[in-house]
Every structure is written in structure tokens, then in C-alpha cells.
Amino acid sequence: MSTKLVLTERHRSFLVSDSEQFNVFNFIRLLRTQERDNEIHVDLRKLSTKSQVIVLSKFKTVLELVSSLFFERDIIFTVSHSANDDPSINRIEKEIGGESSNQEIMFELSKLPVAISNPKDPHTVKNIRGAVLLSLVQNLIALGKVDSKIDLFTEASAITLHASSSFLNNKENAELMWNVLKQWENAHDDKHNQQLNLLLYQCVQKKKDLCKSVISALDMLKTNGNHRHLIGICQKNFQLTETVFRDVNQLAVWLVDDQCSNGWKQLIENLLDGTGINLEAFSSLQDVKASIELANFDESAETPHLALVDLRLSADDAVVESYNSKDLSGFDVVDLLLKQWKGLPIMIVSASSKLWNLEKSIQRGASSYWRKSDEIDGTDSKKVISTALDIYAQFVDKFECCLSKIKYKNIFELYEILNELCDSPSFNRTSLKRSIVELNLGLTSKVTWMLWQRSDEQTLLDSLLLDTMAIFNELEHLLWDTDTGRLLLCPAKSANVGAKGKDSLVINDTLKHLDEEHELRGLALESTYEICKRIRNKLNVIHGAEANKSIKRASIENIESALLIAYVLMYKISKKAE
């Protein structure tokens, strides 16, 4: 029996993605009604010459997958085309073989060599499978609802799978999705569709929440009012670098994955669609190094606010892992990124289910771990679809976790600046230097554990303000001369170190002097320090449950303000020693 499939421009959106990539798997889906035919005839002549060439250029893969999906029977496959004048047609005909005459090419599948290259590495197989599942989810989210009337094997289908079309050239994944779609036609009853629609609704809501979280992360990086005034004071009068508190209108995310050019970049971009995020892809450690070197050379170069890092980036990574195996190459990227940007949120994206990789991710300072695939086969389409939705939901949760770390970006950078100032001879062998080094380490561990444990963030903020204010205890000893009893930065004034039962005013008086010296108005140095001190004195971690009405809670802005005041004092002390 022989039937004919005539392709027209109405098929184009189903067969060709917006990026002009031909979807081989979808082409074969259109042949579903001919699945048991001995002869298949496809007519391309109603397509434009450009579209015909796009289809024919992938026909070798078409034939290989047809041979696999259509029970490896002896099938005669005929293609009619009108693109003889195109110079690429001769090359294509030679590549795929067959008998060519009068604008037709005929193939006998039993005589063609089967040459699909399928990966043997189980990690690569899972990686590819995860991409296919996520592509399915993206189509379902766009569709908004699963029902028994869904179109699966015609050009009208909303399940285009374009985001993973290159991955579906893989025989195992093509077979898995083919079986899923065939079962979907018959196996999904109303009760199960209701369950899937509940999961789908949750995924749609998560996508909306993700967009809100990105806006929130951007808002947290913006400075306004009195805080912007204080930052301006530090930049104008005390040479604070303008790379800190840089205005941001768009979040930059780095994707490091050796498969980024084969489809993962497009997939992640689709997952983040609507968020306004700028995604930049790297395929190796060397690519990341080159961009870091550029950032060190050019301060205007875009730097990441968040990074997604695959663990398997090198052919040298062990195929079969054990607990004592050499660390996967992706961990080198994690180390490199955190050495450059200590507070950078890093989300591990890996098909690995090994517990020790999760442990190493925590130890290396990553913020979350997302498994981008799962152990499934195509024998149960219901399980495949629900698993795909679950993988997507986990992506959003882990990504939002990383987004919540972005608000600490300026705090990490200010601590690094204080750490660098400690190299000044003024702070050699001082308890201040040791204190800042310890606080720097504490900042990293506290924020990291808060993210992994999903613990109370307000408790963390209170703790960080308390740690930061402890810097002033060490600074105070450096701000006055014990021999003369005078302020270091204002020798004309005696140091008020505080009588018994009274607070020292050494820091207040020094800041007041700097306000006057630089003619600072409004909420300036001394008044900002007083605000931070009052909040510190009323923190819940100090007073517990006592007098709840008078308890204060710390904010990101409070911590940043305290660090800016500490920076000004350390900067002036170091300049005094020059």
C-alpha cells in the first residue's frame, strides 16, 4: 500500500523552528498514518526552494529514524522535489544515496547503512533525555491544558518539541518520545488528565513567580534615597570604586555546559523566557577563563549575577564514577568563578544522581543543585509527562533559591574591599585584620547554609549586622592615640573613650569630624552610624523575646551602610599612614 504526504507552507511552523532548524522528529510524526505502509511518498514541491533544501539536507537522519521507528521493515521511500537548480542538491543526493531521476529520489531502507550515532555514556544519554523532557514541558505550559483531544501527529499539534529537535535525532530519545505520543492517544483518561493539569497549573504559576522573583532581585540591587546619598558620599569623597552598587537593568546569567551549542542554551533561554534575563553560554573552562580575564581588563565588561554550571565539561571526566574518583571538571569552573566573584550564586545543572557530587557542590560553595534528567523509559507516558513537569518545577525552585542570594552581592563585594584594605601597613598584625578575614569566611558559610537549609533569612540578616558592627570594636583602638589621648584623624580633639558605664564616642566624634571636614549634609556618616548602632542594640539575637515592641530587625541596607562606614574609616586610616 502507498500513500502520499504533500508538504505545504502550512506545515512550516511545525517542521522548522524560528531559528530555521529543521525538526526531523516532527517530519516523521507527519508520517504516522503511513507507519505500516510498504511505500512512503513525500512531495516537497509545494514548499519554497529554501524549505525543500532544508528538509533534504536532513534526510539522511530522517531515513535512519524511520528505519528505527517503523519497525525496521523493508520500506521504499520516495521524495519528489523541484529544487534541481539549487547547487546543494547534488551534494545532498550523493550524501544520502538512493536513485535519482526526474525530480524524484527513491530509497530502499533495507539497502541503506544505518549510521545513527548514539552516545554510549549513560550520563550523556540522561543529559539528552532531560532536554527532551524539558522541551515537552515548555510546549505544555504554552498550551496551558492537557486533554484527550490534543493533536499529536498533525501539523496542527501544539507539541512541537522545537527546543530539543537536535536531541531527538538520537535514536533512543526519538523512540522514547514516539512511544509517549502513541500512548498519549489512547492511555490518558479524564482522571489522569486532571492530575496532569494540576501539575501543569502549578508549573504555570511557578513560571509567573519566577518572573516576579527576577524583578525582586533587580529591585534589591537598586539603591534609593538616603542609601544612594551615602554611596555617593563614599564614591565622591573617599574613592569607593564605582564597580560596587552599579546600576542594573537586566540580570546576566552565565551557562557553562559543553552541550550549550547543541541545544541546552536554547532550552534554558526558553525556560527563562519572559524574565528579561540575558543568558550567555560557555562550553568549557577555557571560555570562562577568557571572559574573566576580559572582566579584569575592562571594568565595563558584563559580569554574571548568577551562573549555571554543568559538571561534565571534559572528555577526561570519568564515565563510571566512584566516591574517590577525580572531581568532575565542572567543579574547577565553580572554584574559578567563586575566586573571581565570591558571592556569585551558582546553580549546578547536572544529570548526575551521585550523592557525593551534591556533597561536593555544597563544599565548593554552590548555592543549589538541579538534576536536569531522571531515570525513566517510554513504557508509561503518564509517568514520563509527570516526571517532565517535576523536573521543570525543580528547576524553578532551585533557580529562585539562587536569585535570593543576589541581594547579598554588594555585601560580599564590600567585605572583599575591606579585606584588600587590610593589606595596608596600618592594619598589619592587628586584631582588625584577623576579624575581617574571619567575618569574610563567616559571611560565605552563613549565606550558603541559609540557602541549602532554606532557613529563616531574617535571622541571617540580624546575625550579619551583628558581625559587621563588631568591626567597629576593633577599629576604635586604631582611631585614637593612647599616648596623647587625641583622635587619630582629628588631633585637635581629645578622644572620648567613655567613662565608667558610658559608651565611647571615639567613632562618633571621628565621623562627625569627617562630616564637617567634607561638608557633608543630610543623613551623612555619623548619623548613619548611629542608626546602625541603634538597630544593633535592639536586635532580637541580643534581647531574645524581651520587650517585643522595641526589637529591631536588620536589613540588607543596614548591613551595607555599616560596611560603608567601616570602609570610610579604614580608608582614612590607611591614607593617614602614607
Which band of pLDDT confidence, cut at 50, 70 and 90, is reported for residue 84? confident
pLDDT of residue 259: 80
pLDDT of residue 376: 65
Residue 28 has pLDDT above 60, yes or no: yes
pLDDT of residue 570: 95
Is the per-residue pLDDT at 67 higher than 70?
yes
More confident residue, 23 or 99: 23
Number of other residues whose CB lies within 10 A of the CB of residue 539:
19
Question: Which helix or strand (DSSP H or E) is residue 30 part of?
Answer: none
Q: How far is CA 144 from CA 139, 165, 174, 205, in A?
A: 9, 21, 24, 11
Which distant-in-sequence residues (6+ apart) come within 8 Å of 299 by Cβ?
243
pLDDT, mean over the chain = 86
3-state secondary structure of 233: helix
Rounded to 10 deg, the angle between the 556-577 and 506-517 helix axes is: 80
Residue 71 has pLDDT above 70, yes or no: no
Q: Is the pLDDT of residue 35 over 60?
A: yes
Model pLDDT, residue 506:
94
Angle at 437 between CA 434 and CA 442, to 5 degrees: 120
Q: CA end-to-end span of the chain, whole Å?
A: 94
Three cell numbers written together for 127: 543529559
Confidence of residue 543 (pLDDT cuts 50, 70, 90): low
Tell me, rounded to whole angstroms, the distance of Cα 370 from its chain centroid. Answer: 10
231 with 240: CB under 8 angstroms? yes
| pLDDT greater than 80 at residue 102 | no
Neighbours of 15 (CB within 10 A): 25
Residues 6+ apart with CB under 8 A from 112: 63, 64, 67, 97
- State the pLDDT confidence band at 332, using cuts at 50, 70 and 90: very high
User: At 168, is the pLDDT very low, low, confident or very high (cuts 50, 70, 90)?
Assistant: confident
List, for residues 259-310, the tens digit of each pLDDT value.
877 678 888 998 999 999 999 999 999 999 999 999 888 878 889 999 999 9
Residues 6+ positions from 71 with CB-CB distance below 8 Å: none
Q: Is the pLDDT of residue 379 over 70?
A: no
- Concatenating the DSSP letter of every residue in 277-291 gives -EEEEE-SHHHHHHH
What pLDDT, in 10s, does the model give residues 403-446? 999 999 999 999 999 999 998 888 887 889 888 988 888 999 99
Min mean pLDDT across 139-143, 215-219, 385-389, 545-549 is at 545-549
CA distance 369 to 346: 9
C-alpha pair distances (Å), 138 with each of 141, 169, 255, 273 = 5, 19, 19, 10
